[in-house]
Amino acid sequence: MMNKIGELMRQREQIRNIGTVAHIDHGKTTLSDNLIAGAGMISSELAGSQLWLDFDEQEQARGITIDAANVSMVHDLEEKEYLINLIDTPGHVDFGGDVTRAMRAIDGAIVVVCAVEGVMPQTETVIRQAMKERVKPILFINKVDRMVKELKLDPQEMQSRFIKIITKVNKLISQFAPEEVRSDWRVNVNDGTVCFGSATGNWAISVPYMERSGISFSDIIEACQNDSQKELASKAPLHVVLLNTVVRFLPNPLTAQKLRIPHIWKGDAESKVGQGMVDCDADATMAMVVTRILVDRHAGEVAVGRIFSGSVKQGQEIWICGINQKSRIQQAAVYMGPERVNMPSIPAGNILALTGVKDAIAGETLCGGEKAITPFEAIKHHSEPVVTVALEAHNTQDLPKLIEVLRQMAKEYPEILVEISEETGEHLLSGQGELHLEVLIHRIRTDKGVDVDTSEPIVIYRETIGGKAGPIEGRSPNKHNRFEIVVEQLEDSVYQAIKNGDLAQGRYRGRTSAPDFQEAGLVKEEARKVVDVCGGNVLLDMTRGITYLPEVIELVIQAFEEAVEGGPMSREKVIRMKVKLMDAKIHEDPVHRGPAQVIPAVRSAIFACMLTAGSVMLEPKQLVFINVPQEFMGQATKEIQTRRGQVRDIRQEDSQIMIESKAPVAELFGFSGAIRSATEGRALWTTEFAGFEPVPKDLQDEVVRGVRVRKGLKPKLPTVSDFLS
């Protein structure tokens, strides 16, 4: 097997890098079992129940996929062998970061949709992520046997249900796909880009396969009714039907990279490196993206990713482009589920694992050659960490180990946030939701061996402003320096451009970026004056010819960054604010204009402006989608409304009611148990991050006091006079 894989790695036309993506519990991992069994890697008898790629203890205990898992297999079609590099991704929204990163490594996706539940919110999310990364989809409608056994649908009703699912998927593809491939990427029953089947029953079918084999819908219904799916599986094995579809319709690296590289790499397309990646040239300069960092107890850090050009081999020296440092590869390997198998050399177009690259992080660019190349575009995560717990080492002597473990986890899971609270000295761990944090804490205790005490979950808030204020003058402690500051709300289009990565975060002094900011929505005069972008906020230097300002502008920028890292109300991060330096008077003697003078003056002026403009606390909201039998609709809507939630839409699908609502994250703690109790365990529900929205005015003071007390600040709300000397 490994000899075949080694040979096929060099046949780029015969490689398919694919992933299974879907809503939670729609059957991705069960489907992957079938594909792996078809390749002879696990018993066909256990396919569908072994869940071979859910090898983590927490995955087995919870019955869900938590981590993306890689496997390489060989598939035969028309006397030709193909290498299938498969990534099985999580479906739960809390682990969506793994899906986002996996999309950078693959060229095609099997979108799995449950025939009974249909297209669900996370289905929409994964299709949107795939389109953003230029990953071509095919559709597998799973659990068709349940339509026969449970819903007792006839062939006409089944086809009607299929059409509804296909139409919805195509609508999403049309909405999010790049214009040049929009029509080609829509899935079609007749050409075979849509398959139907049962991952637990080990069978699948497509219209072209039905025509060749003579199997009809009536045969499928009969097999499901008579519990003779084994016979159906022998005539239409899932792995054959689906992998034939993968090989025929999903692109090989040569085709995919011509479309993908111009989108995910913004370096010089005409350079040798750029051409090497577009052509997937195994002899060009090596370039790859790290999509995941794993920690092996024996080998240390393992960097998993996609190689787009060149080749990697043991002992090779490479660049870690983000930090402009060199490193040496100890081993190059492929993942076979839980096992890592070393290979002497791995060429472009493959998914691989490297050991020895110690300082890389997920999303990092690695390359060969004489100097570091332009890094790939940052991998943008769909949601933000909105729930936090405070951690303390149970035994004081474990504190250094806890710090090291948290540093390591931040590399493994770039979607989490690790901070040390200056006020309390606690270590703060922020994740996508309660389940996400539960899993991370369990891994700290068991996998990493550090016993920790945790606080109750804490919600992350944001601060912003409700209007415009200034100019307000901030004076340095020695009274020799003055800075006039104005704050305004940042244009929503500019904020979105920063959030989407179209406008880079960082300092802009000396960088010609005015056209980009103007295009995003800043007026021409302001677009030319941008000096810093930090956390979704912009600093503008609107002054002209101020003596000594160039010598202290870095301190002004530092003060701005400190201000937006923790606002005046509750020391929560600030977003959507535009800060303008309008005028300044600076002492001629450098001794009197150092950091201890400039930074407090600017920061205090910004805080005073924010309070004058009307500070607004923003709380994270989540969309909550509930699927419940009709008789429990009242209980479900009541449960949402008692949590300050708003019901946005209610629609009926057969006997089920779909409720779409929005609620504050702060009110959703314990929601899982409450909704199960209210609906006698009959509700299926999922959430999706919906951004930050203002806290209701009548609750804002209470929320601010609560955050201040938790952080060890005075309960009294701050006023403008607190920041002006």
Q: Which two tokens stand for residue 86?
A: 């498969």
Helices (H), 470-626: 492-499, 514-520, 524-527, 549-565, 595-613
Judge whether residue 496 has pLDDT over 60. yes
pLDDT tens for each residue of 523-535: 888 888 888 889 8
The mean predicted confidence, pLDDT, of the chain is: 82
Residue 69 confidence (pLDDT) = 67
Q: What share of the chain is helix, strand, coil (3-state, %, to 5)?
A: 35, 30, 35
The single-letter code of the amino acid at 449 is G
* Mean pLDDT (whole number) for 317-346: 82
Q: Judge whether 263-367 and 617-694 match in fold.
A: no
- Which residue would you say has higher pLDDT here, 66 or 293? 293
* Of the listed ranges 95-104, 527-536, 551-560, the one predicted with least confidence: 95-104
CATH class, range 463-613 = alpha beta
Q: For the chain, what are the domain ranges? A: 2-249, 263-367, 387-456, 463-613, 617-694
Tell me what percent of the residues of the chain surpass a pLDDT of 90. 18
Residue 381 confidence (pLDDT) = 63
Residue 45 confidence (pLDDT) = 46
To the nearest 10°, the Cα dihedral for 10, 15, 21, 26? -120
Tell the burial category of 392 from Cβ atoms under 10 Å away from its Cβ (0-12, 13-18, 19+).
Answer: middle
Residue 354 confidence (pLDDT) = 87
Q: Could you tell me the pLDDT band of residue 512, with boundaries at 50, 70 and 90?
A: low
Residue 65 confidence (pLDDT) = 44
* Mean pLDDT (whole number) for 47-59: 42
Residue 250 confidence (pLDDT) = 93
Judge whether residue 378 has pLDDT over 80. no
Residue 44 confidence (pLDDT) = 45
Indicate the fold that domain 263-367 takes in CATH.
Elongation Factor Tu (Ef-tu); domain 3 (2.40.30)
What is the C-alpha separation between 306 and 76, in angstroms, rounded?
24
Partner residues linked to 621 by β-bridges: 664
The answer to whether residues 184 and 177 touch, using CB atoms and an 8 Å cutoff, is: no
Q: What is the pTM of this model?
A: 0.74
Indicate the fold that domain 2-249 takes in CATH.
Rossmann fold (3.40.50)
Give the Cα-Cα-Cα angle 221, 226, 230 (nearest 5 degrees). Answer: 90
The architecture (CATH level 2) of 387-456 comes to 2-Layer Sandwich (3.30)
Among all chains, which residue has been given the structure tokens 């806890």? 402
Judge whether residue 41 has pLDDT over 60. no
Nearest-CA neighbor of 172 among 220, 150, 217, 139?
139
Residue 528 confidence (pLDDT) = 86
Q: Which two tokens stand for residue 125?
A: 């999310």
Judge whether residue 677 has pLDDT over 80. yes
* Of the listed ranges 26-30, 63-67, 302-306, the one predicted with least confidence: 63-67
Judge whether residue 127 has pLDDT over 80. yes
* 617-694 is classed CATH 3.30.70.240: yes
pLDDT tens for each residue of 135-145: 999 999 988 88
The answer to whether residues 572 and 458 touch, using CB atoms and an 8 Å cutoff, is: no
The answer to whether residues 185 and 137 touch, using CB atoms and an 8 Å cutoff, is: yes
Q: Could you tell me the pLDDT band of residue 510, with boundaries at 50, 70 and 90?
A: low
The answer to whether residues 597 and 453 touch, using CB atoms and an 8 Å cutoff, is: no
CB-based contacts of 183, cutoff 8 Å, min separation 6: none
Judge whether residue 5 has pLDDT over 90. no
In three-state secondary structure terms, 324 is coil
Judge whether residue 119 has pLDDT over 80. yes
Run of H or E residues at 248? helix 238-249
What angle in degrees, to the nearest 10, is found between the helix axes of 28-38 and 238-249? 90
Judge whether residue 476 has pLDDT over 50. yes
What is the C-alpha separation between 127 and 182, in angstroms, rounded?
13
